[in-house]
Amino acid sequence: MKLPLSAVLLLACAAPVAFAAGGDGLTTPVRLPAYDEARASCSAPTGLQKTLVFVQDNRREFMQGVGRGLEAAARARGLGYRVDFADNDPELMIRQIDAIATDGTGAIVVAPIDPPSLAPALKNVIGAGAYVGAIVPPPATTVLNAPQYMTGKVLAEAAAEYIRTRLGGKARVVLLTHDSLQFLAPRFTAMRDTLRGLPGVTIVADISPATVDKDGGYRTMKMILLAQPSIDVVLGADTVVLGALAALRDAGKARADQFLGGIDGEREAVDEIRKGDSPYKASISLASPIFGYAMGQHAADWLEGKSIPQAMDILPRALTRDNIADYERDVADPGAVFADPTRRGSYLRMYGNICFDTRDEYIDFPWSSEAM
């Protein structure tokens, strides 16, 4: 997704400045240069605990993978570690962040449930001098995102090839979207754009489940099957597509020639693909333990006064039966991937620089490397 050139500014280096809690950060879109690992260190925050907290939205496998990576990095760097589960409750998450803003916690990573309502509390944590890593929505000292349009396109192209070669060019398609979350919407735009090029494809449902988990996917697919009892393709996040698969099986509507595909590389999705005769044919890996480990390392660097990335891409890759073994080796040992620049570069791309002294440059706009 392209921004007008007039909306794209080059990020300039800033001298250390005083920063008040609740500041606005960078609200105008900027083009971030490549991360400079050699950038000089600055001041380390004082009076903060060497503790990393993962404020987790729910217990889906993708987020559990983030937690495994964070915990491994915290252990490697001598940080305390804990998880605060919000259980899909945005008000609970706000209370959790409010408590962190005043208890001296040194670093958090958060998966926001309702980004607009959570933003003021996160700004207070940033203002207190702590590291804040956010999984997709800002504000944060480091924003983690994926090239969302590319991510959706990789999955949709795999589905389109299957429709052409295995389904005779015709398919009834369900898109289980998250269009209400603007940061993820480009992946579903890419799916629509790709499928639009196939004249025999009909999108029979294009809907956002109430919750981004298996239960949400299950309930939504049960509703769809009342009106559309024969479905050929289902696309969305792994967790909701896995729920949709359960609904298809319960209704006796699952077929080996269907194409179900998801995004996130969740373990259950990988297990389905490995079976060979499952309707689940593809998962786009975003390698959550690997980026979780990277964010944990950045949290520790921040607390030591080092310069860290302002933003980070996690690069999508389509998992197949041929490459699953290599992928599982990497996510089982994210520390080894992070330590190897070549392997790390195949999963992560880093942008910009920020440290404690320049924390007023935290990102407070919907950053994407594709918005350039």
Q: How far apart are CA 294 and CA 340, in angstroms?
A: 12
User: ∠ at Cα 183 (13, 133), nearest 5°?
Assistant: 50
Burial class (CB in 10 A: 0-12, 13-18, 19+), 30: buried
Q: How far apart are CA 309 and CA 32, in angstroms?
A: 10
* Under-70 pLDDT residues of the chain: 1-23, 372
Look at residues 148, 104, 183, 143 and name the one whose alpha carbon lies nearest to residue 361: 143
Residue 173 confidence (pLDDT): 98
User: Residue 90 has what DSSP assignment?
Assistant: H
CB 135 within 8 A of CB 110: yes
Which residues are registered as beta bridge partners of 56?
Answer: 85
Residue 372 confidence (pLDDT): 54
Q: Could you tell me the pTM of the whole model?
A: 0.78
Q: How far apart are CA 62 and CA 238, in angstroms?
A: 9
Residue 23 confidence (pLDDT): 63
User: ∠ at Cα 229 (228, 235), nearest 5°?
Assistant: 70
Q: What is the CA radius of gyration of the chain?
A: 21
Bridge pairing between strands 105-110 and 80-85: unpaired
Amino acid, single-letter form, for residue 229? P
Please tell me whether residue 92 adopts helix, strand or coil conformation.
Answer: helix
